[in-house]
């Protein structure tokens, strides 16, 4: 039997381990520095490093690494052993405070958006003591930030920590105005729900598009997809259940709060949801979760797909970012309480989020921009590219009362009567869930639903933390020193709701009517990630990020260019893979099928000239016609992808790949998918959608 409390966090150098292994004075200094966000006393680095090394070795570790998150979307690590020479032919195991605090990595080979040249190679990693070290695969992993030699950030963690600090500063200003004295810190908390697909390993290996791109570039629709809605929350198949059990165990050992797991809407699709924690740690945990999903799946002869749209015709995969604000005294600032209309503190923080989302819709859209996410945003499976908020009936009524100055009469809770005497009655919530909303209030948190499954959640949370900090700054500036705080607060709430109510929409975000209404309201609709990426460097964005010390203008330009470069590279790899698959596999299979049909028709007519071979002849004609069409589209794609882009900016190149290369790929796919539905299954060179989706 698994003893979860006993194994949970057993591979983490957590607070309990430090308390047991460190001298009391060292532990107290370290604990104070972390909890109070103070500078770390360098005098404690050596004893902490020694204890960390001894603990890691007891867990079977032989190496250590500074574990960081560059702009590649995945994590990076360089391993060094604890071994140091001592005399002749002898070694000892050492780990110094200097090695713990700072490391060096070649920065030139990581994305920098032009910040670093190839010959400017030096980069630094620096320990983040707010995120605990852990042992993974025999290596002590030390979470760190990553920056260039000249100090520009080259990672996801550094700006995330900066945004947390900005949010804390402004939130404490607001709490001080309300007379709250027991809060020393305010932290954003996040619980990221992770969607993913599982496919058979052998079938994955037989699909070059899955191997190189993480998604299928071709695939005819199978007879059955998700039409019957029989997979969602359905019985978990034994092979998948074994994977989930194994995955939970690995995650629990790393102190990751894996809580809920179930089948998702599409065949072969599943979801894992953790309990929320501080956004910095939640980000680290989510990166580890994605890594472990891939590793554990291979143990079970499966492959975990984290692409946002691995298969056409069924739902893609997202990542729901459940975000809230909590004080170090344990108070959730977004908890409305039993009487939200009378909870002025909650209403002010709630209004700050409304203002932030409305003012910076474009940045929120940019924070979830990627080549993969373009396949799902706006489809009937994910929120639209229009950023709006869902607040529910009760809060909407409260906002209306504040806006109009009327007295709030309340929303009466209804009793649910199921009609079966043995079942209990219960109160109906005053709000429903809205799965079509990109940004929905769900009780005591906001669920940002637009993130793609493969994304590092830091990008979205950096933006979310900073834009809310900006609204809180504006609120604090206006309320600070007011002669009549209550009157000033009421006026501020009323004005904020009037100015920003347009972003609140409780209806169907998938409808065509909403697109028209959103345009009339003045909301932004940015379907293309390429266009969204440009939003990082608008004057308003630069000013806001710079004011809070999250990004400099140079860093923002580099981020935009990195995202654009990545977009172009992804589409180029997909296009080249598509060309290779058609030339080396599809054309030979289709030619063989056409030849077999023609040979069959000729043989039949030789045997009996009076036989009707219309079917064979018609099929040969249709296959030949589609083959010629496929070849012409293949040639067109090759011509487009060979276009020189040397004189283009990163943004212009991304536009070229979106508007030209991607569209040519879509044209080619349409024809190839028609041929797949005609060619003999014995000749078709790749596992089909039916096999991939229903084989596990």
- Mean pLDDT, contiguous 10-residue spans, the chain (696 residues): 90 95 92 77 88 96 94 89 83 88 75 65 84 96 87 90 97 95 93 97 98 97 83 90 97 96 93 95 97 98 97 93 94 90 91 97 96 82 86 88 80 53 50 74 93 96 98 96 91 95 91 91 93 95 97 94 95 97 97 88 71 78 94 96 86 94 97 95 96 93
- Exposure string for 541-571, b = 16+ CB within 10 A, e = fewer: bbebbeebebbeeebbbbbbbbbbbbbbebb
Indicate the helix (H) or strand (E) that contains 607.
helix 587-607
Conformation bin of residue 107: beta by default, left when phi > 0, alpha when psi is -120 to 50: alpha
Residues 688 and 603 sit within 8 Å (Cβ to Cβ): no
Q: Are 424 and 372 in contact (CB under 8 A)?
A: no
Confidence (pLDDT) at 418: 46
Compute the chain's Rg from CA coordinates: 28
Evaluate whether 144 touches 67 at the Cβ level (below 8 Å): yes
Those residues with Cβ within 8 angstroms of residue 195's Cβ, 6 or more apart along the chain or in another chain? 264, 269, 270, 271, 317, 318, 319, 453
Q: Which regions of 149-301 does DSSP assign to beta strands (E)?
A: 186-200, 258-263, 269-274, 277-278
* pLDDT computed for residue 380 by the predictor: 57
Predicted local confidence at residue 426, as pLDDT: 45
Distance CA 39, CA 373 (A): 39
* CA 307 to each of CA 88, 196, 310, 322, 373: distance values in angstroms, whole numbers, following the listed order: 52, 8, 6, 20, 8
- CA–CA gap between residue 448 and residue 460 (Å, rounded): 9
Distance CA 51, CA 10 (A): 15
The H-assigned helical ranges of 608-688 are 614-641, 650-656, 662-676
- On whether the CB atoms of residues 191 and 639 are closer than 8 A, the answer is no
Question: What local confidence, expressed as pLDDT, does residue 420 receive?
Answer: 53
- Phi/psi at 454 (5° precision): -90, -5
> Residue 325 belongs to what H/E stretch?
strand 318-327
Residue 177: strand, helix, or coil: helix
Residue-range domains of the chain with CATH = 4-155 (3.10.20.70), 163-417+425-551 (3.30.590.10), 567-694 (1.20.120.1560)
Q: CA–CA distance from 45 to each of 30, 96, 157, 234 (Å)?
A: 9, 8, 21, 51
Structure tokens at 368: 């979830």
d(CA 617, CA 641): 36
Q: Do the beta carbons of residue 558 and residue 152 sit within 8 Å?
A: yes
157 vs 69: CA distance, rounded Å: 7
Cβ neighbours, 10 Å, residue 348: 22
**Residue 641: its pLDDT value, please?**
92
> How many CA atoms are closer than 13 Å to the CA of 411, on its beta-carbon side?
18
pLDDT confidence of residue 416 = 46
Helices and strands in the chain: count of H runs, count of E runs = 24, 19
Token pair for 145: 């930030």
């Amino acid at each position: 039997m698994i003893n979860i409390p006993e194994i949970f966090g057993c591979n983490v150098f957590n607070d309990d381990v430090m308390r047991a292994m460190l001298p009391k004075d060292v532990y107290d200094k370290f604990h104070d520095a972390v909890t109070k966000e103070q500078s770390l006393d360098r005098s404690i680095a050596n004893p902490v490093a020694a204890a960390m090394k001894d603990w890691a070795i007891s867990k079977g570790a032989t190496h250590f690494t500074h574990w960081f998150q560059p702009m590649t979307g995945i994590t990076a690590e360089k391993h060094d052993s604890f071994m140091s020479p001592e005399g002749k032919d002898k070694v000892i195991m050492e780990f110094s405070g200097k090695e713990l605090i700072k490391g060096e990595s070649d920065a030139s080979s990581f994305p920098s958006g032009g910040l670093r040249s190839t010959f400017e190679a030096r980069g630094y990693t620096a320990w983040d003591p707010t995120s605990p070290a852990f042992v993974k695969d025999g290596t002590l992993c030390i979470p760190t930030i990553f920056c260039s030699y000249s100090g520009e950030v080259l990672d996801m963690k550094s700006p995330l920590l900066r945004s947390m600090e900005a949010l804390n500063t402004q939130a404490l200003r607001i709490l001080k105005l309300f007379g709250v004295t027991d809060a020393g810190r305010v932290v954003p908390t996040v619980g990221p729900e992770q969607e993913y697909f599982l496919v058979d390993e052998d079938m994955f290996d037989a699909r070059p598009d899955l191997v190189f791109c993480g998604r299928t570039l071709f695939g005819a629709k199978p007879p059955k997809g998700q039409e019957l809605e029989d997979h969602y929350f359905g019985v978990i198949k034994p092979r998948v259940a074994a994977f989930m059990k194994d995955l939970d165990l690995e995650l629990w050992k790393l102190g990751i709060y894996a809580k809920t797991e179930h089948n998702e809407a599409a065949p072969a699709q599943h979801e894992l949801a953790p309990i929320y924690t501080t956004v910095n740690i939640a980000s680290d945990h989510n990166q580890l979760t994605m890594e472990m999903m891939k590793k554990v799946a291979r143990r079970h002869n499966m492959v975990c797909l984290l692409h946002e749209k691995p298969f056409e015709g069924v739902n893609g995969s997202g990542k729901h970012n459940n975000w809230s604000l909590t004080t170090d005294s344990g108070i959730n600032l977004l908890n409305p309480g039993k009487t939200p209309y009378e909870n002025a503190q909650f209403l002010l923080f709630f209004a700050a989020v409304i203002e932030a989302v409305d003012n910076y819709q474009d940045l929120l859209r940019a924070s979830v921009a990627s080549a993969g996410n373009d396949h799902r945003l706006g489809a009937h499976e994910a929120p639209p590219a229009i950023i709006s908020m869902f607040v529910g009936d009760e809060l909407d009524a409260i906002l209306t009362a504040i806006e109009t100055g009327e007295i709030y009469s309340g929303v009466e809770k209804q009793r649910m009567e199921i009609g079966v005497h043995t079942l209990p009655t219960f109160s109906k919530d005053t709000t429903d869930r809205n799965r079509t909303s990109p940004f929905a209030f769900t009780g005591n948190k906001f669920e940002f639903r637009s993130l793609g499954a493969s994304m590092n959640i830091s990008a979205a949370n950096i933006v979310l933390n900073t834009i809310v900090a900006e609204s809180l700054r504006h609120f604090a500036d206006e309320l600070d020193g007011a002669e009549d705080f209550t009157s000033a607060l009421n006026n501020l709430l009323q004005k904020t709701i009037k100015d920003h109510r347009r972003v609140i929409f409780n209806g169907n975000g998938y409808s065509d009517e909403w697109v028209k209404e959103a345009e009339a309201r003045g909301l932004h609709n940015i379907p293309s990630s390429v266009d969204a990426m440009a939003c990082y460097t608008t004057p308003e964005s630069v000013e806001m990020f710079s004011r809070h010390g999250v990004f400099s203008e140079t860093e923002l330009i580099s981020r935009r260019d990195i995202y654009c470069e990545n977009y172009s590279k992804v589409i180029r790899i997909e296009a080249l893979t598509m060309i290779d698959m058609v030339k080396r596999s599809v054309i030979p299979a289709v030619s063989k099928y056409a030849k077999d049909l023609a040979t069959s028709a000729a043989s039949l007519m030789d045997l009996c000239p009076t036989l009707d071979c219309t079917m064979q002849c018609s099929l040969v004609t249709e296959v030949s016609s589609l083959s010629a069409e496929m070849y012409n589209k293949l040639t067109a794609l090759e011509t487009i992808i060979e276009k020189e882009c040397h004189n283009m900016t990163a943004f212009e190149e991304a536009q070229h790949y979106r508007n030209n290369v991607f569209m040519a790929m879509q044209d080619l796919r349409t024809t190839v998918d028609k041929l797949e539905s005609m060619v003999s299954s014995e000749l078709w060179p790749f596992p089909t959608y039916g096999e991939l989706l229903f084989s596990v």
